Structure 1
């Protein structure tokens, strides 16, 4: 059945442009996009979407853009930036989205990597970055198109042009040049680029990942066949445009299955906009689900005593029931009735408050999610599921089915994806959604792609019924001095199941025991401190409080219960600052750069093993303004 659903979406030779034009022709008056501006949702139909994309493509084509060129896309989610990405795919040009907080050094790496000849920028802040990049030597970057004109009225930089002017130029060309429209629509082929993304860069500079139009459309078909989403879904486009998950859902699946994509006003308004949209599909990283859970719990604690009692009465029962289901036990006789009453009084109003009452498919991915968080949402009536994906495979590898949810697996391989396990325990994949290789890196490509199989770099195993278990990175499989094998990322993720721990780094390769450095979640711990009357003046101060150390120790004890004795964590340090992508300690998707962290905190690691009671640190930190400062602190070495 799933395979037939997948095949029914397959049309030979289809491209981004052909799918877009089919939607415009057959469903032209349906809403494709909505963007919130100054509190008002402004709709765009499929017909309008297609015309905007073609006008943009004609305008960029008039600038001389050609296959092999690359265009930077900088900013938060905006309708015009999505239009620009589709226009570039129509021209066969690399659309290269970057995270809004990308530094000049990172942009310089992108400019050195490919022929970056133009940029699409959201606003003045991003235009300033691009101009700085050009001043630093990116001489090929001649054209800069901006969406939001505020603050740019007096800029006189060469090549700077508004989106409106670009579309005006393109529309004029489409109307005055016979055959141009057909020419543009027929240029791109299935193997031509859809988007130019980057690997996370945990072990070095991010590598370029070019996904073809065949790749991304195949992934969308696979996801649909696996039951991840369906025709006409309503989604909120809030994930970073440089993350493969956003492209897979907001662009590829949205085109193929005619989603209505809602673009929030600002990242700061996402929760409010989420409530207004009430999407039917929602994908979020575990940290986002954790943050939302914290918001719900804080709201309950600030409510009336009666509401709190009702909440705990029904939720505690629902959590227990959900755990029984996950363990394969049947429901009690009164469970449906209690569930119905709980839905009316507690669960329904909470879901309505956060815009989740219409959710048909809710997913978490990117890393492991905490058991308590996962069970909470399922108890609330949100059928949260796990999926496993990578940039190199267009984001969709394995998905849990609604009736086959297990805490320790990521589900079965999606239809259209083959999975096998190599002799060394590495997960291998084969699918039409797998990329052709890293951009201009033949050696890295040869290591990753072999005999038609994608070497994911992840360690895992298949259960007898085909469910996939992901343990962590193969390259991060380490051994203690006694030869005990462990995966630090596996332990770190379980430490981060605690709402009080934002990041963690487990140490122990070649040593007698395992220890860890952790970074508190300032918002969550700060709220806990306020509720419990614990004074503090800064992150560095709060992170070293004895009361906070008690919270952290509880998290360590809980993780140790699930670990064999030789791998239990013995000591820890609560760091004086968060791991920061601007400091190179984590990637933009918050993956640990282990070598950087271990090098930067050598003295802290030494103190964890030499019997010291504390360690003095002096660190340079980078602020949001780009300025740097120095933090001096003495950190206690604490026993678990």
Structure 2
């Protein structure tokens, strides 16, 4: 029997309208309908390796059979940790074939935090990308007794390990293929076993206010969310995707793996995170998702590159880009362009905009999105002026990240767009945003109290404050729980102001203080790369982040950013003083989450002495900050920090 005939001989679970009801079903459909189409590509030693949908299904079936041989069963979690790798993605779908589910962990999570992300689903088996992750899992096993079996993908450095329960993924695949040969009926059984109500992935909340909660997303949630996005024109069939986002983030599982399989895209995996920018240029994806900070970094790269370019290129850039931004403002306002503006736009695309898009790897990015936090107008307009149709979307892990998005023709900087087809949005009496959709999860894992608080009559209480405009565009203000008041009764949301400050490429993190205080102050963390380049251009010498942050010129730079934001703030909510911290807020120090959300309670506790100095009239404060080194060691970094009045 040929491979093609074998693939078409099996059936898979379907929705009422005949579409696949699970990711496994979508994979089987792809292998049956377009067996030779490339589903996955991965760069290895500079060469792109390709998997057709038929080959991908065969490999995933072998992994599933091997995992079952090792004891993975229905309802169990498979811990997965590592950077983006094709075989790690395959193992996630393979777990689904067994009615188990992957539970990916951010690869930079230290061993001591791992038990937090292995609390649910009894993960007896873990899949690690390489030796670094195997070592962490062995340390976790010593502490907790789990995982019992550690499967590794990259064998370098592991061949001499003598501990029990360490298995190569190649060995698991070999065993799986042997089972499939001995049991021909197993193939169809694995494809048809999972149902729409089964959990397809277990993710974790960011944990900004406490221990991260387990968020199980079921096949029907992801299938519904992606169908809604496709109906709204946000996703399309046969996209070229770039798989570089953290595998433990909902954006990667839903936008990359889920959408890729359900919509028959080609999922391109970079060789390493260090080569991602180079690999992105080669792939030139048609769909691209990045957080606002990543778009800010791209803008900084362009600005730095132009500053170091030839005089002619700088003059062309300085001539065309301001005109492109002005033209984009007119487009967004619904105004018609003049003939001369269209001519300038056409010439500019040839000499400036097109080359920049090619340099960034976004020459084919017909659909580009950002979300997770607000984006600055400068960055947003810049990329749209290049011809990249960048839009904002809104969603949470609990909604498969698919709730609302901007549509072309109704793009405005302060909104996140309208609800997607199949999604209902309303605002309750307290100003909280409520969501109802098939993409909304059923509840937190083994946490009925949190579930009861989050879900009511089919509506998800998002915890976000916002409002709907007359055209039903949604405006998100910030977390309801973060609405606080100054001692004079002024109401504000710290995160809203922090995001506006972070619109500047020179600030990476900011913490606003003022709850119960007479006025607002801030701790600022500079962006080392952007400020470092700025300093070098002005011949300002420095030897470290700590030294650079305390330069008077850098304080003046940050003061200008603060003053600009103050111009749009009500007088009682202007920032009066700030301090440049001598280190960045770090996830390893517990100050931000792995998705870089501020852990406000940790900041307020750890930096209480700095906050007090901002209010007691001090001109400086000596502070001893805890730091975690790349190797995992801990230390202290002491510095005299200047307090700057705005």
Q: Same fold (TM over 0.5)?
A: yes
When the two chains are superposed, the root-mean-square deviation of aligned CA atoms in Å is 1.3
Match of 1:115, SS state, is coil
Cα offsets for 1:537-565 (capped at 9, x unmatched):
11111001110011101110111111111
Q: 1:330–1:9: structure 2 CA closer, same or farther, 3 Å change rule? A: farther
Q: Which residue of 2 aligns with 1:256?
A: 262
Q: 1:627–1:361: structure 2 CA closer, same or farther, 3 Å change rule? A: same
* 2:360 counterpart (331, 354, 361): 354
Matched, 1:564 2:570: yes
Cα distance in 2, alignment partners of residues 183 and 30 from structure 1: 24
* 1:296 counterpart (290, 302, 312): 302
- Count of aligned pairs: 633
Q: 1:9–1:277: structure 2 CA closer, same or farther, 3 Å change rule? A: farther
Cα distance in 1, alignment partners of residues 381 and 57 from structure 2: 42
TM-score after normalising by structure 1: 0.97
Once the two structures are overlaid, the 10-residue window that deviates more, 276-285 or 221-230, is 221-230
Measured after TM superposition, the shift of residue 355 of structure 1 is: 1.4
Measured after TM superposition, the shift of residue 327 of structure 1 is: 3.4
CA contact (8 A) 1:236 1:282 kept: yes
* 2:27 counterpart (15, 20, 23): 20
Measured after TM superposition, the shift of residue 492 of structure 1 is: 0.3
Q: Which residue of 2 aligns with 1:29?
A: 36
Cα distance in 2, alignment partners of residues 8 and 322 from structure 1: 42
Q: Which residue of 1 aligns with 2:489?
A: 483
* 2:97 counterpart (77, 90, 93): 90
Q: 1:554–1:11: structure 2 CA closer, same or farther, 3 Å change rule? A: farther
* 1:54 counterpart (33, 48, 61): 61
Matched, 1:80 2:87: yes
Measured after TM superposition, the shift of residue 9 of structure 1 is: 10
Q: Which residue of 1 aligns with 2:624?
A: 618
Cα distance in 1, alignment partners of residues 449 and 337 from structure 2: 54
* 1:315 counterpart (294, 298, 321): 321
TM-score after normalising by structure 2: 0.96
Match of 1:136, SS state, is helix
Matched, 1:277 2:296: no
Cα distance in 1, alignment partners of residues 16 and 332 from structure 2: 33
Matched, 1:451 2:451: no
Measured after TM superposition, the shift of residue 12 of structure 1 is: 6.3
Cα distance in 2, alignment partners of residues 231 and 271 from structure 1: 25
Measured after TM superposition, the shift of residue 10 of structure 1 is: 4.8
Match of 1:387, SS state, is strand
CA contact (8 A) 1:16 1:90 kept: no
Matched, 1:468 2:474: yes
Q: 1:305–1:358: structure 2 CA closer, same or farther, 3 Å change rule? A: same
Matched, 1:135 2:146: no
Q: Which residue of 2 aligns with 1:599?
A: 605
Cα distance in 2, alignment partners of residues 8 and 223 from structure 1: 17
Cα distance in 1, alignment partners of residues 18 and 607 from structure 2: 54
Measured after TM superposition, the shift of residue 325 of structure 1 is: 2.6
Q: Which residue of 2 aligns with 1:108?
A: 115
CA contact (8 A) 2:140 2:146 kept: no
Match of 2:260, SS state, is helix
Measured after TM superposition, the shift of residue 360 of structure 1 is: 0.7
Once the two structures are overlaid, the 10-residue window that deviates more, 321-330 or 281-290, is 321-330
Q: Which residue of 1 aligns with 2:412?
A: 406
Q: Which residue of 2 aligns with 1:165?
A: 171
Cα distance in 2, alignment partners of residues 114 and 602 from structure 1: 38
* 2:558 counterpart (552, 556, 559): 552
CA contact (8 A) 2:20 2:26 kept: no
CA contact (8 A) 1:9 1:221 kept: no
Measured after TM superposition, the shift of residue 143 of structure 1 is: 1.4
Q: Which residue of 1 aligns with 2:401?
A: 395
Q: Which residue of 2 aligns with 1:516?
A: 522
Q: 1:10–1:298: structure 2 CA closer, same or farther, 3 Å change rule? A: farther
**Structure 2 alignment gaps of length 5 or more:** 1-13
Cα distance in 2, alignment partners of residues 140 and 292 from structure 1: 41
CA contact (8 A) 2:591 2:599 kept: yes
Report 1:138-153 matches (<5 A). 139-153=145-159
CA contact (8 A) 2:86 2:269 kept: yes
Match of 1:95, SS state, is strand
Cα distance in 1, alignment partners of residues 139 and 431 from structure 2: 46
CA contact (8 A) 2:328 2:385 kept: yes
**Structure 1 alignment gaps of length 5 or more:** 1-6
* 1:195 counterpart (198, 201, 205): 201
Cα distance in 2, alignment partners of residues 460 and 438 from structure 1: 24
